[in-house]
Amino acid sequence: MKLHEYQSKDLLAKYGVVVPGGRVTSDPAEAKKIAEELGGKCVVKAQVLMGGRGKAGGVKLFDNAEDAGNFTKELIGKRLVSIQNPAGMIVEKVLVGELVDIAEEYYLSVLLDRAEQKVVVMISKEGGMEIEEVAEHNPEAIVRLHVDPAWGLDDYQVREAVQAAKIPAPAQRQMVAMIKGLVKVYIENDADLIEINPVAWTPDGKLVAADAKVSIDENAMYRHPEYTETKDDGAEDEIEAEAAKLGIAYVRLGGEIGIMGNGAGLVMCSLDEVNRAGGKPANFLDVGGGANAERVKTCVELVMMDPNVKGLLINIFGGITRCDEVAKGILSAFDQMNITIPVVARIEGTAAEEGLAILATSDKVVGASTMQEAADKIVALAHA
Ligand code: GDP
Ligand code: MN
């Protein structure tokens, strides 16, 4: 579960990591008041769980409280769209923060290195921009420091890593302290990601976490009741939120081909096939076990909530559930719905021939017996 910036900063502050002052609100008048308390100079930041808020227009610096209040009014209820999140997210809260005077921007993150089976700290002098960009164009600017699960981090290791990352000498001591604090937060709170971008170095020599993203391992959420209240903060994508309520695994991906299948692996393969065939997947959706009419209908309705969907690919492998049952389920679901976009269903497994014969009786659903064939067909139909 991703925490909002304000929640992340509160958590970091408890561990002594230096964060700018400020408060969260959804009320423009309150935002103005917070800005006044901060002396007028402030930064207003949309609290949406997506990257690239700055470029999306969700972060703005102010030198007076009036403008900060007006900007808040503008921002609340607005949908922010970024490259990372083409579907966008509605702003419900803003963080009105103390304005940090930034001389230099660095980067810090803590995450799990699965190959090494260790927590890893990533340190870079190149902060402020997307770390993926740094990784691509200037990979030697990223230093990785692994945390030994039995021994933890020794000071000298952190110091060496900070020096290897060419963090300027005056900032090194505070950088070492920040890294140790972040690792402590990460381990003690079951985090699966912490990212501070930028770590701000001020002209008067202070190191401050100007932005903060903390994500808590979903499997450990039962140990963190403090976050249950904000779990469905509406900050999620609305279709994803609806899917979560229905207990369906759905992820919005931004393309035009809706996809549903039974089993995560099969759905992942379908995404790859659609890409290969020249389409862009609109979503990931795992129908789960069984594919009766009711279930198929619910899933199709979910996929169709996305207005970008121009075609639907259904990929079902019938094991215990026979394909003729699946085919009947699909047809009866479509009989009850008014779907005008092309639909291709690939069904394979037990009683596949009977299933395809049933699909052949319908003019709403095109049958296919292989994934490749299904992907080629749906992309061609959707793009026609
Ligand atoms: P993100 O775009 O979602 O990562 O949001 P950030 O909080 O990182 O803000 C984007 C950019 O706005 C940062 O990289 C900074 O350059 C700038 N920014 C954010 N907060 C401050 C601040 O307090 N002072 C100054 N000078 N710039 C800031
Ligand atoms: Mn940032």
Least confident of 97-106, 113-122, 217-226: 217-226
Judgement on whether residues 372 and 258 belong to the same structural domain of the protein: yes
Residue type at position 365: V
- Residue 132, in any domain of the structure: yes
Distance CA 49, CA 47 (A): 7
Residue 289 has pLDDT above 60, yes or no: yes
pLDDT, greater one: 325 or 374 = 374
Q: Are 132 and 275 in contact (CB under 8 A)?
A: no
pLDDT, greater one: 243 or 86 = 243
Distance CA 370, CA 375 (A): 9
Work out the widest C-alpha separation in the chain, in whole angstroms. 76
Averaged pLDDT for residues 267-286: 97
Distance CA 151, CA 135 (A): 29
Nearest atom in ligand 1 to 101's CA = 26
Residue 333 has pLDDT above 90, yes or no: no
Residue where the block lists tokens 């002052």: 21
Structure tokens at 248: 């369906």
Q: Are 234 and 92 in contact (CB under 8 A)?
A: yes
Could you read off the pLDDT of 172-216 as tens digits, one per residue? 999 999 999 999 999 999 999 999 999 999 999 999 999 999 999
Choose the catalytic residue: 126, 195, 273, 348: 195
Nearest atom in ligand 1 to 98's CA = 23
Separation in Å, CA 221 to CA 191, 215, 247, 270: 10, 11, 16, 30
Judgement on whether residues 332 and 373 belong to the same structural domain of the protein: yes
Nearest atom in ligand 1 to 210's CA = 20
pLDDT for position 232: 56
- Residue 27, in any domain of the structure: yes
Cα torsion 112, 116, 119, 123 to 10°: value is -90
Q: Are 196 and 211 in contact (CB under 8 A)?
A: yes
Residue 62 has pLDDT above 60, yes or no: yes
Judgement on whether residues 85 and 129 belong to the same structural domain of the protein: no
pLDDT for position 231: 65
Q: Are 364 and 339 in contact (CB under 8 A)?
A: yes
The residue out of 46, 81, 98 marking a domain boundary is: 98
pLDDT for position 189: 96
CATH number of the domain that 40 lies in?
3.30.1490.20
Residue located nearest, by CA, to atom 24 of ligand 1: 100
Judgement on whether residues 201 and 251 belong to the same structural domain of the protein: no
Most confident of 82-86, 250-254, 287-291: 250-254
Instruction: Using pLDDT thresholds of 50, 70 and 90, give the confidence band for residue 294.
Output: confident
Site to probe by mutation for ligand 1, drawn from 4, 62, 129, 211 as the one with most ligand atoms within 8 Å of Cβ, is: 211
The residue out of 72, 98, 124 marking a domain boundary is: 98
Judgement on whether residues 155 and 216 belong to the same structural domain of the protein: yes
How many domains does one find in the chain? 3
Judgement on whether residues 272 and 183 belong to the same structural domain of the protein: no
Residue 233 has pLDDT above 60, yes or no: no
Q: Which residues neighbour 338 within 8 Å (Cβ) at sequence distance 6 or greater?
A: none
- Pairing assessment for the beta strands 22-25 and 283-286 based on DSSP bridges: unpaired
CATH number of the domain that 301 lies in?
3.40.50.261
Distance CA 78, CA 46 (A): 10
Residue 235 has pLDDT above 60, yes or no: no
Averaged pLDDT for residues 57-78: 97
- Residue 4, in any domain of the structure: no
The residue out of 77, 98, 119 marking a domain boundary is: 98
- Residue 1, in any domain of the structure: no
Could you read off the pLDDT of 22-37 as tens digits, one per residue? 999 999 999 999 999 9
Judgement on whether residues 119 and 196 belong to the same structural domain of the protein: yes
- Residue 12, in any domain of the structure: no
pLDDT, greater one: 291 or 129 = 129
Instruction: Using pLDDT thresholds of 50, 70 and 90, give the confidence band for residue 282.
Output: very high
Residue where the block lists tokens 């990591």: 17
Judgement on whether residues 84 and 126 belong to the same structural domain of the protein: no
Distance CA 197, CA 189 (A): 20
Residue 86 has pLDDT above 70, yes or no: yes
Instruction: Using pLDDT thresholds of 50, 70 and 90, give the confidence band for residue 84.
Output: confident
CA of 127 to the centre of ligand 2 (A): 9
pLDDT for position 268: 97
Per the annotation, the verdict on 140 as an active-site residue is no
* CB atoms closer than 10 angstroms to residue 63: 12
CA of 225 to the centre of ligand 1 (A): 30
- Residue 233, in any domain of the structure: no
- The helix (run of H) or strand (run of E) holding residue 105 is strand 104-113
pLDDT for position 357: 94
Judgement on whether residues 81 and 115 belong to the same structural domain of the protein: no
Residue 96 has pLDDT above 90, yes or no: yes
What percentage of the chain reaches a pLDDT higher than 70? Answer: 98
CATH number of the domain that 218 lies in?
3.30.470.20
pLDDT for position 274: 98
Least confident of 45-49, 84-88, 254-258: 84-88
Structural domain span for residue 272: 238-383
Q: Are 300 and 275 in contact (CB under 8 A)?
A: no
Averaged pLDDT for residues 290-316: 89
CA of 22 to the centre of ligand 2 (A): 16
**Burial of 128 per CB tally in 10 Å (0-12, 13-18, 19+):** middle
Averaged pLDDT for residues 333-346: 90
Judgement on whether residues 276 and 363 belong to the same structural domain of the protein: yes
pLDDT, greater one: 82 or 229 = 82
Ligand 1, CB within 6 Å, residue ranges: 43, 45, 51-54, 59, 61, 99-100, 102, 128, 197-198, 210-211
Could you read off the pLDDT of 343-376 as tens digits, one per residue? 999 999 999 999 999 999 998 899 998 999 999 9
pLDDT, greater one: 295 or 109 = 109
Residue type at position 106: Y
- Residue 68, in any domain of the structure: yes
Could you read off the pLDDT of 370-380 as tens digits, one per residue? 999 999 999 99
pLDDT, greater one: 152 or 325 = 152
Q: Are 58 and 46 in contact (CB under 8 A)?
A: yes
- Residue 3, in any domain of the structure: no
Judgement on whether residues 111 and 94 belong to the same structural domain of the protein: no
Q: Are 152 and 91 in contact (CB under 8 A)?
A: no
Judgement on whether residues 217 and 150 belong to the same structural domain of the protein: yes
Per the annotation, the verdict on 195 as an active-site residue is yes
Instruction: Using pLDDT thresholds of 50, 70 and 90, give the confidence band for residue 236.
Output: low
To the nearest whole number, what is the mean pLDDT of the chain?
A: 93
Q: Are 252 and 271 in contact (CB under 8 A)?
A: no
Percentage helix, strand, coil for the chain under 3-state DSSP, each rounded to 5: 40, 25, 35
